[in-house]
Amino acid sequence: MTTPLPGQMMDVPLTVSSLLAHASRHFGTTEIVSKRVEGDVHRYTYRDCEKRAKQLAQGLIALGVEAGDRIGTLAWNGYRHLEIYYGTTGFGAVCHTINPRLFPEQIVYIVNHADDRYVMFDTTFAALVDALAPKCPNVRGWIALADDARLPRMTTPVMGYEALVRAEDGDFDWPLLDERLASYLCYTSGTTGNPKGALYSHRSTVLHAYAVSLPNASGLSARDCALPVVPMFHVNAWGIPHAAPLTGAKLVLPGKDLDGKSLYELMEAEHVTYSAGVPTVWLGLLNYMRETGLRLTSLKRTVIGGSACPPAMLSTFRDDYGVEAIHGWGMTEMSPLGTVARLNGEQAQRSPDEQRSLLEKQGHVIYGVDMKIVGNDGRELPWDGVAFGELYVRGPWIIDGYFRSDVSPLVDGWFPTGDVATIDRDGFMRITDRSKDLIKSGGEWISSIEIENQAVAHPAVAEAACIACAHPDWKERPLLVVVKRADAEVTREELLGFYQDKVARWWIPDDVVFVDELPHTATGKLNKLVLRERFRDHILPSACKVVN
Ligand code: AMP
C-alpha cells in the first residue's frame, strides 16, 4: 500500500487580517466612505483603514487585551466599526457585535454571557450604555467612538476611541494566527429564550468571504461600489465588510439613517452598484422613489434576504428600476449566507414565467453549503418542489455548537435550521415558513409567507403579516394583518377576493385586520410572536356559530 502523499504548498493561515492587508496593499487608494453620527461624510482609503486598525490593535494590547478576549461593539455601519472588525481580530481578540435594537435586558445578558472586556459604542448609544454599565460589572471599560472633544456627557466613565488610536503609531505586523481561532461572536436575536452566540473562526470568515464574492453569489469586483444596508451588528453585514476588501470593491457605510431618502441620496452621490438588506429597508427606498418619481442611476444588483422577499418587490426592482434584485437566505448560525437565487445558463433560456418562479425562491446553495429537507420521521425528503420538511445544512461556515453551551445542536452532523422548506429539481430551495409560524388548519399546513406574498402584490397593501388564529373547528385558521399604503384604500372583502385563483381556497385567510404599523424584531423581521399575542383573543367571523 502506498503512503498518503502530502501536498507541497505553503501553509498560509486564512486570517481575517489578510483581507484588509490585501486591500491595503493592492487596492490601497480605493475609498471607504462613511456617513458619520457626527452628521458629516467621512472618506479615506483601505490603506488608511489598515493603518488605523493597526493603531487600534496596539492601543487595545496596551490596555491589556489579550488574544481570545471579547470586545463588544454597539455601532452603526461606519469606518470606525470597520477598524474594530480588523483591529480586534487582527491580533486574536474576538469582535463581538451587539445589536443595539435589542431590549436592554437582552444586551446585558449578551455582554455578560460573552464576558466582554471592553465595549465600544457610537455616541448615539450613550444613554443605552449608561443603562447597561451598572449591570455589566466585568466590562473593564466603555469606549466612545469619538474625538475627546465630542465625548458625550454620561454617568459612566468612558474613554475616547480617537485618543486610543492616536496614541499609537501603527507600526505593527499582524501576527500569523491559527486560522481555527475565534474571530467574531454574533448572538442570534431569538424572540424567545436567551440569545445564543455563534462563534466564527478566522477560517470560516475568510471562506465565507470567498463564497459571498463569487459570481453566483454577490459577484463583487474591484469595479463595484458596495453599500451594505444590513447592519454590521447583524451577522457581520452578511460578510460584505470582508468581501469588499477581498475583491477591492469601494465600500460605502450608511451610518444610522436608513430611511428611503437618505439611502437614495447616498447611493446616487457615491455611485453605488451593489447593495444588500432586508425587505423592510427596501420598502422604504421603493416608497421614496415612487413618491418622488426619482430613479437609481448606478445600482445594478441588490441582495434581499433576512426574511422572505415578496415577489412583488423583486419585480418592482427588476421591471420598474432595472435593478437585479437577488433573493438570498441564510442565518446567524451560517455566517450567514446559504442560498442565492441566480439562474444557470439553461434556466435563463426558460420562459419568463419559469424564470420568475425560480427567482422568487430562496435559491440554490453556494459552494461550501450542503442542504437537505427532512420529514417528521427524520428521513430525507425528495427534491420535487412539493414535499416540505425541516431544512438541515452543513458546511465550513456553519456552527457546530453555541458559545458556552455543552449541548450540540447538530443531528447526525447536520444543523437543523428551524425553517421549513421545499427543494425543487433544479436544487432551488423555497422557505415555506419558520416551523413555529406555519398555520395548521384541520391538520394541513398553510404557508404564512405565501399568504403574505400574495397580499403585498395588491397595489393598496404596503406590508402584511399572516398569523394563526384559534378556530373551534379547524384548530387554527389564517388571519391577515395589513398596513395599507398611504392614500390607498382597500376593503376586507376586496382583499379576500384578491386571493381567488391565486391560492387553494382553504388557504384564503378567514379575516383581515388593518393596522397602522406592524411590529418588527431587532433584525427587521416581522415579529409574529407579538402579533400572535396581540390577536390572541381575536374572534374570526368563521368561528361564530350562527344561532337562529
Ligand atoms: P438571523 O439569524 O437573524 O439572520 O435569522 C435567520 C432566519 O431568518 C432564517 O432561519 C429564516 O427563518 C429567516 N430568513 C432569512 N432569509 C430569509 C429569506 N430569504 N426568506 C425567508 N426567511 C428568511
Closest residue CA from atom 6 of ligand 1: 331
Distance 310 CA to ligand 1 centre (A): 13
Where does the pLDDT of residue 294 fall: very low under 50, low under 70, confident under 90, or very high at 90 and above?
very high
- Above 60 in pLDDT, residue 27? yes
Closest residue CA from atom 5 of ligand 1: 331
State the Cα–Cα distance between residues 248 and 254, nearest whole angstrom: 19
Which ligand 1 atom is the nearest neighbour of the CA of 521? 3
- Above 60 in pLDDT, residue 389? yes
Sheet holding 116-121, edge to edge: 158-160, 141-144, 116-121, 70-74, 94-97, 182-188, 196-201
Ligand 1 neighbour 24 (Cβ under 6 A) = no
b/e burial code for range 381-417 (CB count within 10 A of at least 16 → b): bebebeebbbbbbbbebbbebbbeeeeeeeeeebbeb
Ligand 1 neighbour 417 (Cβ under 6 A) = yes
Distance 307 CA to ligand 1 centre (A): 5
For residue range 241-263, what is the model confidence (pLDDT) as tens digits? 999 999 999 999 999 999 999 99
Query: Which CATH architecture is the domain 16-204 placed in?
Result: 3-Layer(aba) Sandwich (3.40)
Higher pLDDT, 31 or 445: 31
For residue range 472-483, what is the model confidence (pLDDT) as tens digits? 888 899 999 999
**What does R_g of the chain's alpha carbons equal in angstroms?**
24
Ligand 1 neighbour 331 (Cβ under 6 A) = yes
Ligand 1 neighbour 393 (Cβ under 6 A) = no
Across residues 359-371, what is the average pLDDT? 98
User: In this predicted structure, what is the pLDDT of residue 547?
Assistant: 43
Across residues 84-94, what is the average pLDDT? 98
Which ligand 1 atom is the nearest neighbour of the CA of 362? 19
Distance 517 CA to ligand 1 centre (A): 21
Mutational pocket test of ligand 1: of 106, 186, 307, 337, the residue with most ligand atoms within 8 Å of the beta carbon: 307
Across residues 390-418, what is the average pLDDT? 96
Across residues 371-393, what is the average pLDDT? 96
State the Cα–Cα distance between residues 330 and 525, nearest whole angstrom: 13
**What is the pLDDT of the chain when averaged over all its residues?**
95
CATH H-level, domain 438-547: superfamily: ANL, C-terminal domain (3.30.300.30)
Asked if residue 259 lies in contact with residue 35, where contact means CB atoms within 8 angstroms, the answer is no
For residue range 474-507, what is the model confidence (pLDDT) as tens digits? 889 999 999 999 888 999 999 999 999 888 888 9
Closest residue CA from atom 10 of ligand 1: 331
User: In this predicted structure, what is the pLDDT of residue 192?
Assistant: 59
Higher pLDDT, 435 or 367: 367
Where does the pLDDT of residue 454 fall: very low under 50, low under 70, confident under 90, or very high at 90 and above?
very high
* pLDDT > 90: percent of the chain: 88
For residue range 322-344, what is the model confidence (pLDDT) as tens digits? 999 999 999 999 999 999 999 99
Q: Which residue has the cell 450604555?
A: 129
- Cell triple for 470: 384559534
User: What is the pTM (predicted TM-score) of this model?
Assistant: 0.92
Asked if residue 431 lies in contact with residue 422, where contact means CB atoms within 8 angstroms, the answer is no
Distance 367 CA to ligand 1 centre (A): 19
**DSSP H stretches of helix in 63-219:** 79-89, 104-114, 126-132, 161-166, 202-213
State the Cα–Cα distance between residues 370 and 338, nearest whole angstrom: 8
Ligand 1 neighbour 308 (Cβ under 6 A) = yes
State the Cα–Cα distance between residues 449 and 432, nearest whole angstrom: 6
Which ligand 1 atom is the nearest neighbour of the CA of 304? 19
Ligand 1 neighbour 307 (Cβ under 6 A) = yes
Cα–Cα distances (Å) from 106 to 187, 336, 395, 433, 545, in that order, read: 10, 21, 29, 25, 44
For residue range 112-140, what is the model confidence (pLDDT) as tens digits? 999 999 999 999 999 999 999 999 999 99
Of 497, 535, 496, nearest to 515 by C-alpha is 535
The separation between CA 163 and the C-alpha centre of its own chain, rounded to angstroms, equals 32
Ligand 1 neighbour 69 (Cβ under 6 A) = no
State the Cα–Cα distance between residues 89 and 86, nearest whole angstrom: 5
Ligand 1 neighbour 326 (Cβ under 6 A) = no
Where does the pLDDT of residue 194 fall: very low under 50, low under 70, confident under 90, or very high at 90 and above?
confident
Distance 117 CA to ligand 1 centre (A): 30
> Could you tell me the residue ranges of all domains in the chain?
16-204, 438-547
Distance 306 CA to ligand 1 centre (A): 4
Of 169, 189, 210, nearest to 18 by C-alpha is 210
User: In this predicted structure, what is the pLDDT of residue 191?
Assistant: 54
Closest residue CA from atom 21 of ligand 1: 308
User: In this predicted structure, what is the pLDDT of residue 391?
Assistant: 97
Ligand 1 neighbour 325 (Cβ under 6 A) = no
Where does the pLDDT of residue 428 fall: very low under 50, low under 70, confident under 90, or very high at 90 and above?
very high
Asked if residue 228 lies in contact with residue 275, where contact means CB atoms within 8 angstroms, the answer is yes
State the Cα–Cα distance between residues 76 and 82, nearest whole angstrom: 10
Asked if residue 237 lies in contact with residue 45, where contact means CB atoms within 8 angstroms, the answer is no
Ligand 1 neighbour 336 (Cβ under 6 A) = yes
Distance 337 CA to ligand 1 centre (A): 10
Residues annotated catalytic, as ranges: 188, 333, 440, 445
User: In this predicted structure, what is the pLDDT of residue 400?
Assistant: 96
